[in-house]
Amino acid sequence: MKWSIAEASFSMQSDKLTFERSYPPIERKLTGFSPATLQAYLDGEFVETRNLVKSIITRPEFRHFEGPDLHEYRRQVLIWLRTISDAGLGRLFLPPELGGEANLRKLMAVVEVLSFHDGSLLIKLGVQFGLFGGSIHQLGTGYHHQKYLPKATACQLFGGFAMTEIGHGSNVQALETTAVYDSEHRDFIINSPSHSSGKTFIGNAAVDGQFMVVFAQLHIGAANHGVHAFVVPIRDETGQPLPGVTIEDNGLKLGLNGVDNGRIWFQNTRVPKAELLNRFAEVTDDGQYRSEIKSNNSRFFTMIGTLVNGRITMALAANNMAKSALTIAIRYAARRRQFGGGVQEMLVLDYPATQRRLMPLLANAYAFDFAVKRLARIREQSRGRGTSARSIESLAAAIKAFSTWTAIHTIQVCRESCGGEGYMFVNRFAALKADADIFTTFEGDNTVLMQLVAKNLLGELKDQLKEMNPGRIARFFLDQRLRALKKRFIGLTADTASLLNPEQQLAHFRFRESTLLLRSGGAFRRLTRQKDMDAYSAFSRLQPELLELAEAYAERQVLESFIEAVAHVPEQTLQPPLRKLGDLFALYHLERHKGWFLENGFMPGKRARAITSQVTRLCQEVRQDAVALVDAFGIPDQCLGAPIALG
């Protein structure tokens, strides 16, 4: 039994009836810039690749899946993935030495366009090329690359990334799965010693996957060398689980039901020694463990750190899903009228409450677009160069958490602003909400990621203090506090000009971040000097403050990206609308944090109130360009789908 999605126009059931057949026109105002020019700036490079992906996902056979049968949905997504791969897009994920490009920014262009279409396809592609292929690429060496990557990127072999266990999702260093080296047979024996050691939520596990990159504790004799990754076959050619491998379907999920997630337990599964992904560690035939990174802990974080691309692409994908939601909500508000006298009722978009609801979220979407793309550039430039892995890890973690939380919020507000129409499946919020929901959890739980950011920031502060003696450190904190007091009212006055000065905005963001860092650092130092207080307990105690610090760091990074993007705009007509969006982003977030500035005496009440007025005014101004600003996202009608947003 299939559901037919209601058409935008009314399908008449009696030819005696004559009805108007469509929604009112979307109000499209004259703007001082061309949406196409703006789109070109947002898209930047790889226009051909983008167009290729768009040409595929707008084909009739890529029509949004609308049936209730999830097995059919999974099959559909598999077919879509093969189509994408057959078009040569899988090859992009191959390393250059195998004829591919492995160009992060180009891959991101693919992900970005796919995010406009179907969440399950996006994630299935991410599992196959990004997690399975990517982990083999990053953690393996030539043997693994040649053996698996050409087939994986051509969808001739399906695989997954088996890290998470039932008992350990965030604390993956404590995984229970074991890989015991058997020097006699020169292989590893993989075991799941308990129920809770079962791998879970593993994409491609329930149906399609033949191989898994399995993370397990590497034991040689009595020694545990920590978590390592192994390529492990789980199914034979007929699709049956191999002996010793138990697979369970994770079943129905809140969203992403086109992806076959499953649980896996291993019982004495043997893989040849060569299947250890050995970029960072090797085991000799006779069972000697070799690694250039001596500490298990450092090695683990080095391995995990190479997987940062997943976080970058998920930040991008979440933001692009928010763009779909914004496009639907803003276009609908530009055609829907309700209440108000006059010849016609008032456009919903003309209500200040609507503007206040949607315009800051539109500014966020632009902000994250710039921030994620800058992050990808930094990541690319860092290859083999000096930029520290820790700083990229922090940046990626912060942007991923901030952008995915924002996307969830944005999609929800957009759904509500479309009222009952927003609740209809055909208008796409159902899928956007459901699919994006898990983005705050996977590729690192957001709360855990934000703590990682804070930990790294505290670590950098500690490095700064390392060479000081205790007296010097005490003086350092005192100096910083005095400097903060002197900085009161950071130089900004409440007049419009200074509130709209990007340098002044940034000064506020930086001041907040550095003040929070110094306070947390000081508090951490005081706590750890108490007896019976280890670093972990002190860190846990400070969680609320540290999460605030990480958020401040993320906001500052995003504002910097926005200001940079406005400065580098290639066409002068794009300056005014982007400046307004940038101002709105900055002042909206300052408004959110005004309580903090005020309670610490860092801002006079008059300025806080002026910020609120400016946000309201900017929302009104951005509203004038709003439809053009979402048009510039360049989302194909076929992907957008929602009848309330088309025409």
Q: Which is nearer to its own copies, 83 or 498 (CB)?
A: 498
Buried b (16+ CB within 10 A) or exposed e, 130-146: bbbbbbbbbbbbeebbe
Cβ at position 598, least distance to its own copies in Å = 4
Q: To 10 degrees, the CA torsion angle through 297, 300, 304, 305?
A: 60
Q: Which is nearer to its own copies, 425 or 477 (CB)?
A: 425
Cβ at position 567, least distance to its own copies in Å = 31
What is the C-alpha to C-alpha distance for residues 529 and 218, in angstroms, rounded to an integer? 36
Backbone angles phi, psi at 81, to 5 degrees: -60, -40
Pair 458, 524: CB distance under 8 Å = yes
Task: Indicate the SS3 state at residue 150.
Answer: helix
Cβ at position 452, least distance to its own copies in Å = 11
What is the C-alpha to C-alpha distance for residues 206 and 258, in angstroms, rounded to an integer? 11
Q: Which is nearer to its own copies, 289 or 425 (CB)?
A: 425
Cβ at position 645, least distance to its own copies in Å = 16
Cβ at position 44, least distance to its own copies in Å = 32
Q: Which is nearer to its own copies, 148 or 429 (CB)?
A: 429
Map tokens 């649980």 to a residue: 263
Cβ at position 420, least distance to its own copies in Å = 5
Q: Which is nearer to its own copies, 145 or 356 (CB)?
A: 356
Cβ at position 119, least distance to its own copies in Å = 12
> Which amino acid appears at position 147 of this protein?
K
Cβ at position 503, least distance to its own copies in Å = 23
Q: Which is nearer to its own copies, 358 or 566 (CB)?
A: 358
Handedness of CA 236, 240, 244, 249 (dihedral sign): positive
Cβ at position 583, least distance to its own copies in Å = 18
Cβ at position 250, least distance to its own copies in Å = 6
DSSP conformational letter for 624: H
DSSP conformational letter for 10: -
Q: Which is nearer to its own copies, 188 or 201 (CB)?
A: 201
Pair 114, 56: CB distance under 8 Å = no
Cβ at position 445, least distance to its own copies in Å = 6
Task: Indicate the SS3 state at residue 69.
Answer: coil
Q: Which is nearer to its own copies, 99 or 352 (CB)?
A: 352
> Which amino acid appears at position 597 of this protein?
F
Pair 635, 325: CB distance under 8 Å = no
DSSP conformational letter for 490: -
Q: Which is nearer to its own copies, 10 or 143 (CB)?
A: 10
DSSP conformational letter for 286: T
What is the C-alpha to C-alpha distance for residues 291 and 273, in angstroms, rounded to an integer? 15
DSSP conformational letter for 95: -
Cβ at position 19, least distance to its own copies in Å = 4
What is the C-alpha to C-alpha distance for residues 227 and 270, in angstroms, rounded to an integer? 17
Pair 546, 594: CB distance under 8 Å = no
Q: Which is nearer to its own copies, 74 or 137 (CB)?
A: 74
Q: Which is nearer to its own copies, 536 or 572 (CB)?
A: 536
Pair 492, 586: CB distance under 8 Å = no
Looking at the DSSP bridge assignments, the partners of residue 263 are: 248
Closest-CA residue to 216 (of 199, 237, 239): 199
Give the contacts of 597 (CB within 8 A, at least 6 positions apart): 508, 512, 590, 603, 608
Q: Which is nearer to its own copies, 554 or 566 (CB)?
A: 554
Map tokens 């492995």 to a residue: 102
Give the contacts of 388 (CB within 8 A, at least 6 positions apart): none
Handedness of CA 31, 35, 37, 41 (dihedral sign): positive
Q: Which is nearer to its own copies, 143 or 423 (CB)?
A: 423
Cβ at position 438, least distance to its own copies in Å = 5
